[in-house]
Chain A
């Protein structure tokens, strides 16, 4: 709350504070820890603290029967700490501290349940995150050319053409963290973590770190031409995740795919240059996504750990509060009027329509909007509207305890009523939007079309296996075959390559012939030459005889 009020003050006075804390001073070398406090970081910190406190309250009840409760709480606190490190630092080294810590702790949290499945998915998560760290380290090395790691200073004082490599590296790093298309396989796999963790990861901490970094570096990015490529990547990710969410049956994975599509949506806005809107949508997304995960956690707990939405159904009779909040979050994901994300999403939508982009972007944007509506309607249908399956009558425990409800109540209250409040706070300069009537009403049209589309196609798509050829369904259902980034991929390629090199180079014939063989050969040769240099008479006599032979042979 304090951070929020401070952030408001800083918006009002349009200032930012730059605090340098000196660790020690040695040989005219200062070791500094720099803290940047502006309205953006303070607002983000306040949101992170709000959501994480509610999630900790929730997990006190949710993880009550777990055996490693204290470890869980400790790891969560570490996670939040590293996120705060990342948010407040303008310095690339201290960003790396937070960035790396997030990757490590996320690994520990994904493998919290110590079975094989979560271990393999945790490995994928940590390897792809390390890839991002690598790119950050590379950009740090390139920054040595400029004499400072404080990118904010560099933003202002350097010629931007020198910064191409830095921005490329940081773009790739944020792509890995926000799970855009070549690196997107870890995000649904990280669903092996307990539900409060995935709530924290997907709403405000891990995946938003990439976008936050991009927002921080915006002044470099917006000048370069590879924004077009970034936009194509985000478009494809949006399409891929939307299609996958339609074909997916795991409840948590569907929500993960929706996070992925919203992330790429934010990237798209960033590429269009609307940084404020991107940030605003980031915050709103954090609110409703955390709520979505928390309510799905209660659903899963009540279904006795079953996450398959085919086996749920008719839950509105059993868990009315939780189902209601789940429906609200899905509605605000779609941008339903007067919910929190309506104010950002609708604004962005209208800006996008005003932008005069080409047909490719326009089509994909609208199509992924449709897909967003489509999968949220699908989840509502499967969870709340579909008639019962026997499974939940057998399994239901009906567990909605007070702490769970209180922890969800607070954020959902903000989510429902405070969207306009935040919008008036952030956008005090109004922009004029001029649109035709049909464009203005386009989003509503898409909504109705997707509802019709869903009920029309439901039986067709999900029931009739003969209508769509199997290959296509496998292709869409398994993430466009991007899941080859699994553990098997690393095992089959890299580790077997390592074994091959060990077999051939280290203990094989190459070692025998070249490395130790070479030493053996050199030893022999050196001994021989040493014998020559000993000035013994036999050598001279030998040379004499050789010379004599040559004379005899060639002296005709």
Chain B
């Protein structure tokens, strides 16, 4: 896999996110709550044992091992929160943006004459406001 890392994630953050993902995986596999809790406690114990390792290559090796273990124990149907990406209710209500109205056909616009007349006025006002605040936009004119 060749990709550009746009962010350097520290070792500490990697370990923390590994712990969180492992907890989620345990939640996926064990549905009886006491069983789930005790497994998470055991997991925490495993993380805490290696908390004070100063040797960096050994710690990285441990992190790699942990990530591999997480991957090999992944759940086939991980729980996804409904309104977060991948969930069932994600992006459920979509609102078309305002500029869609500009792309209407003149015939369609003619059905609501009052509204569109007012809309044109508002657009002009908005442009005036914008220019007053930010100045005129720089438009590179064609010299060729």
A residues with CB within 8 A of B = 66-67, 113-117, 192, 247-250, 304-308, 310-311, 382, 386-389, 459, 462-463, 465, 470, 473-474, 477-478
Contacts and interface: CB of A to CB of B under 8 A. Distances in A.
Interface in B77-92: 77, 79-83, 87-92
A477 B76 contact: yes
A307 B88 contact: yes
Contact of A113 (B29, B35, B72, B92): B92
B31 interface: yes
Given A248-B77, A249-B77, A249-B79, A463 B90 contact: no
Contact of A382 (B31, B82, B91): B31
A117 B30 contact: no
B82 A305 contact: yes
A87 to B, nearest CB: 32
A197 to B, nearest CB: 14
Contact of A67 (B29, B75, B82, B93): B93
25 contacts: A66-B93, A67-B93, A113-B93, A115-B94, A117-B88, A247-B77, A249-B79, A250-B77, A305-B82, A305-B83, A305-B87, A305-B88, A305-B89, A308-B80, A310-B27, A310-B28, A311-B79, A388-B33, A459-B35, A462-B31, A463-B30, A465-B73, A465-B75, A470-B76, A473-B76
Nearest to A253: B77
B90 A310 contact: no
B94 to A, nearest CB: 5
Binding site secondary structure of chain B? loop
A478 B31 contact: no
Contacts of A116: 91
Interface string B5-32: 0000000000000000000000111111
Nearest to B30: A463
Contacts of A474: 76
Contacts of A386: 31-32
B93 A470 contact: no
A477 B35 CA distance: 22
Given A249-B77, A305-B83, A115 B90 contact: yes
Assign chain B's interface to a size class: 20 to 34
B21 to A, nearest CB: 15
B82 A306 contact: yes
B93 A117 contact: no
A192 B88 CA distance: 7
Contacts of B87: 305
A477 B93 contact: no
Contact of B31 (A115, A250, A304, A310): A310
B79 to A, nearest CB: 5
A308 B90 contact: no
B32 A463 contact: yes
Contact of B79 (A66, A114, A248, A310): A310
A35 to B, nearest CB: 39
Contacts of B76: 247, 470, 473-474, 477-478
Contacts of A67: 93
- Leading 9 A-B pairs by shortest Cβ distance: A115-B91, A305-B89, A477-B76, A305-B82, A114-B94, A113-B92, A474-B76, A306-B82, A310-B31
Nearest to B87: A305
Nearest to A303: B82
B84 to A, nearest CB: 11
A115 B92 contact: yes
A308 B75 CA distance: 14
Contacts of A463: 29-32, 35
Contacts of A389: 33
A343 B82 CA distance: 39
A117 B90 contact: yes
B75 to A, nearest CB: 8
A189 to B, nearest CB: 12
A459 to B, nearest CB: 7
A459 B77 contact: no
Given A115-B90, A115-B91, A477-B76, A304 B82 contact: yes
Contacts of A247: 76-77
Interface centre among A192, A249, A250, A386 (most CB of B within 10 A): A249
Contacts of A477: 76-77
Contacts of B32: 386, 459, 463
A477 B87 CA distance: 18
Contacts of A113: 89, 91-93
Contacts of A478: 76
Given A386-B31, A465-B75, 11 more contacts: A66-B93, A113-B91, A115-B92, A305-B83, A305-B87, A308-B79, A310-B28, A310-B31, A386-B32, A459-B32, A473-B76
A249 B76 CA distance: 10
A256 to B, nearest CB: 13
A249 B92 CA distance: 21
A453 B75 CA distance: 23
Interface centre among B72, B87, B88, B93 (most CB of A within 10 A): B88
A382 B32 CA distance: 10
